[in-house]
Structure 1
Amino acid sequence: MKKEFAVIGLGRFGGSICQELSREGMEVLAIDKNEERINEFKNIASHAVIGDSTDETVLKELGIKNIDHVIVAIGDNIQASILTTVVLVELGVNKITVKAQNDYHAKILDKIGAHHVVHPERDMGRRIAHSIISNNIVDYLELSDDHSIVEVKAGKKMIGKSIIGLDIRANYGCTVVAIKQGKHINVSPTPEDTLREDDILVVVGADKDIARFERQLVIDD
């Protein structure tokens, strides 16, 4: 069965999610107070509805309780974001993801029962910062406040050496969980695997350890 999603708030973040979910063939209910935004998405989402998400009656009438996953992507109105999340929690929605404006907002969302809180602007800022440090840093994804996963191109200091020879786990506290070699992905690299030019390592670890790993092995002098 297809999963059913609802996206509340059709700004840049919510609109992007709505478009991608729809492109993947998902059933998407788009909700926004702004009629112009709804008109933009009426031919993209499965259903696009003008509505006040802070009004419990409105959400009940839309059958929001039966939606598998609701994304609250309300932009700059923190109060509306919090009130909407409260209503969704009280209605017993199965999964609720909410966009946070800042850390204080995130703490409130956690306390009132949001299942997953995202920080798109902060996370994108971190990804861009990592990517501009070095061309060898391909991608960066935060797993928690203290841990991340990065994709890094093997630096000059790594080429021709094995994982055990570099002793990445012992020296840097990071774990290589996969190696991309062109179109091939080795998801179970052995300590003896030798790194080649253009290999991309998928590395997991604490932020402080990853930063040290990047400085000492990944970023070419």
Structure 2
Amino acid sequence: MSKHLYAVIGLGRFGASICKELAREGMEVLAIDSDEEKVNEYKDIASHAVIADSTDEFALKDLGIRNIDHVIVAIGDNIHASILTTLILKELGIDMITVKAQNDYHEKVLNKIGADEVVHPERDMGKRIAHSIISSNILDYLELSDEHSVVEVKAGEKMDGKTLIDLDIRARFGCNVVAIKRDDDINVSPMADDVIYAGDVIIVIGADQDIHRFEKSLVIED
């Protein structure tokens, strides 16, 4: 699997959460903020952490932002900086831009100028968004505690046509499949010989570290 490159602009509470989770998943992350103290805090977490003004097109070019596959604009209360940064990223041809919106008006402007995805951190957890960024097959992510979560994933080719016995998810990863959704039907507490098909939605519960291994092995497509 080729490793995607990510950048997180703005290391406030939301941006920091995204940055930590992407790094935890083993992704290459460039962390950017204008605050030196915040950048220093993340220099050992992100692959690279730099001080920069994201509204300066030349500064972003110098950082090699054009080589980044997905940029998350997580700027705090400065809506003007958020919009200008998004515009610059669009002009530089970034493939995927996810932007944090402060309010509905901000969201409308971001959609109008071409943001690929707009999120509201008040409604969306950083961890959930980070997982959806990594793979479109990861549909939802709900924290049960600091160390345990429930993940909802879409089955792809790696699971297609295999039974739960074949996949052996509990023994291999320590996770439990608690339900399988197919179209409008939901199979709660599925049996070991139940077959999974591509497009099915699988609900899995387990420790975060076990879920990470499960996702990397069976969910994230090569």
Give the TM-score taking structure 2 as reference length. 0.59
CA drift at 1:34: 0.6
Q: Residues of 2 paired with 1:29 and 1:94: CA distance?
A: 16
Superposition pairs of residues 167-186 of structure 1, within 5 angstroms? 175-176=184-185, 178-181=186-189
8 A contact 1:179–1:186 mirrored in 2: no
Superposition misfits of 4+ residues, deviation over 6 angstroms: 138-141, 182-186
Q: Which amino acid aligns with 1:35?
A: E
Distance (whole Å) between structure 2 residues aligned to residue 122 and residue 41 of structure 1: 25
| Paired position in structure 2 for 1:67 | 68
Q: CA deviation at 1:119?
A: 1.2
* Distance change (3 Å), C-alpha of 1:47 and 1:183: farther
Task: Identify if the C-alpha distance between structure 1 residues 55 and 180 changes in structure 2 by more than 3 Å, giving closer, same or farther.
Answer: farther
RMSD between aligned residues? 3.3
SS at match of 2:122: helix
Instruction: Check the 8 A contact 1:180/1:186 in 2, yes or no.
Output: no
Which structure 2 residues correspond to residues 39-78 of structure 1 after superposition, within 5 A?
Answer: 39-78=40-79
Separation (CA, whole Å) in 2 of partners of 1:180 and 1:41: 41
Question: Which residue of 1 is the match for residue 26 of structure 2?
Answer: 25
* C-alpha deviation, 1:66, in angstroms: 1.0
The residue type equivalent to 2:28 in the other structure is: E
Provide the aligned length of Structure 1 versus Structure 2.
151
CA distance in 1, matches of 2:190, 2:37: 44
Question: Using the alignment, how far apart are the partners of 1:105 and 1:46 within structure 2?
Answer: 30
Task: Give the partner amino acid of 1:18.
Answer: C
Structure 1 unaligned residues grouped into runs of 5+ = 125-130, 132-137, 142-152, 155-162, 164-173, 189-200, 203-221
Report sequence identity in percent: 64
Q: Deviations over 1:120-166 (max 9, x none)?
A: 20346xxxxxx9xxxxxx9899xxxxxxxxxxx99xxxxxxxx9xxx
Change (3 A) 1:175 1:62: same
- Do structure 1's residue 84 and structure 2's residue 51 form an aligned pair? no
Following the alignment from structure 2 to structure 1, what is the Cα–Cα distance between the partners of residues 191 and 34? 44
Larger-gyration structure (1/2): 1
Partners of 2:20 and 2:190 in 1: how far apart?
29
CA deviation string 1:89-121 (max 9, x = no partner)? 011111100011111111100110111111120
Quick one: which amino acid aligns to residue 74 of structure 2?
A
The alpha-carbon distance between structure 1 residues 183 and 38, as it changes in their structure 2 partners (threshold 3 A), is farther
Read off the aligned partner of 1:181 and give its amino acid letter: S
- Following superposition, the deviation at residue 179 of structure 1 comes to 3.3
Distance, in Å, in 1 between the alignment partners of 2:93 and 2:108 is 20
SS of 1:40's equivalent in the other structure is helix
Segments of 5+ residues of structure 2 without an aligned counterpart are 126-141, 143-148, 153-177, 204-222
| Bigger relative contact order (CA 8 A; separation at least 6) | 2
When normalised by structure 1's length, the TM-score is 0.60
